[in-house]
Amino acid sequence: MKNEHLKEDSGLASYLSLIKFSHTIFALPFALIGFFLATRFFNYEFAWSKLILVLLCMVFARSAAMAFNRYADRDIDAKNDRTAVREIPAGVIQPASALRFVILNSVLFMLCAYLINPLCFFLSPVALLIILGYSYTKRFTALCHFVLGLGLALAPVGAFLAVSAKFEWLPVLFGFVVLFWVSGFDIIYAMQDESFDKAEQLKSVPTWLGGQQALRLSSILHLFCATIILAIGVGAGFGLFYWIGALIFIALLFYQHSLVTAKDLSRVNIAFFTTNGVASVVLAVFMLLELFV
């Protein structure tokens, strides 16, 4: 059995499953928004090399974050029926291998940041501290969802800095969009483990407020998100394409709340993965149409 695990441990598919590579769809569209805001809206010079480095930073940073989350939570995941099938508790990937994978991706992330510009390189340890540190936050604070949101909110800001090497208000506002959006839907997702988290003394908004109040807070956060999206459109003077994408995004934002209740979480995966994945892609596509057309 041990030899079988070692063989599986080296498989690319196992590591892609470990880091849930398909979930890159949440943050990557916002990184593209940040990048092309810099080149099209603020008229910084476009370079394919910069775009490739930004995409690599996204892949390496997220891979490090997800693998570290699985590594840090391996003992907790093993106790939870929902997560016991994950690669580390199931024995598909050994903890030491996962940790080496985290280190490799963190180094590659910092190397790409170094190749982009000095500001991105100097800020790269801060980004790693946030996205890796998130894995431990549920042990001591119910605000863990906001740390996750902050980690993904770095995508549009970091991509913009890769081109401009300076801060501007517009990508920061898109960062707040991601912060409230991700925090809100992560609260919904965490409702699945409310009983388990209480038994293990883990912190989350559902264990703190209860399912019904957690859903209310999620709705409020998504209302903040929608308000910022509308404010961006007005403040930046965006046209038709932006407003089509923004309204679809907002509609999908609140559609997910119709899919779940405190007593019925059977469709939480549709709300979490499908709806939010489609929402981020739609907003990015129409934002790019606005910028290019």
Q: Which pLDDT score is estimated for 264?
A: 87
Of the CA atoms within 13 Å of residue 30, those in its CB half-sphere come to: 33
Of the CA atoms within 13 Å of residue 244, those in its CB half-sphere come to: 12
Do residues 203 and 142 touch, judged by C-beta distance below 8 A?
yes
SS (H, E, C) the chain: CHHHHHHHHCCHHHHHHHCCHHHHHCCHHHHHHHHHHHHHHCCCCCCHHHHHHHHHHHHHHHHHHHHHHHHHCHHHHHHCCCCCCCCCCCCCCCHHHHHHHHHHHHHHHHHHHHHHCHHHHHHHHHHHHHHHHHHHHCCCCCCHHHHHHHHHHHHHHHHHHHHHCCCCHHHHHHHHHHHHHHHHHHHHHHHHHHHHHHHCCCCCHHHHHCHHHHHHHHHHHHHHHHHHHHHHHHHHCCCHHHHHHHHHHHHHHHHHHHHCCCCCCCCHHHHHHHHHHHHHHHHHHHHHHHHHC
Q: What is the pLDDT of residues 39-75, one digit of tens each?
A: 999 999 999 999 999 999 999 999 999 999 999 999 9
Q: Which pLDDT score is estimated for 267?
A: 86
Successive 10-residue mean pLDDT values, the chain, 293 residues? 44 72 79 98 97 96 94 94 90 93 97 98 97 96 97 97 96 98 95 94 96 96 98 97 98 92 84 86 97 93
The CATH number of the structural domain formed by 2-292 is 1.10.357.140
- pTM for the whole thing? 0.92
Q: Which pLDDT score is estimated for 6?
A: 42
Q: Which residues have a Cβ under 8 Å from the Cβ of 106 and sit 6 or more positions away?
A: 60, 64, 128, 132
Domains of the chain: which residue ranges? 2-292
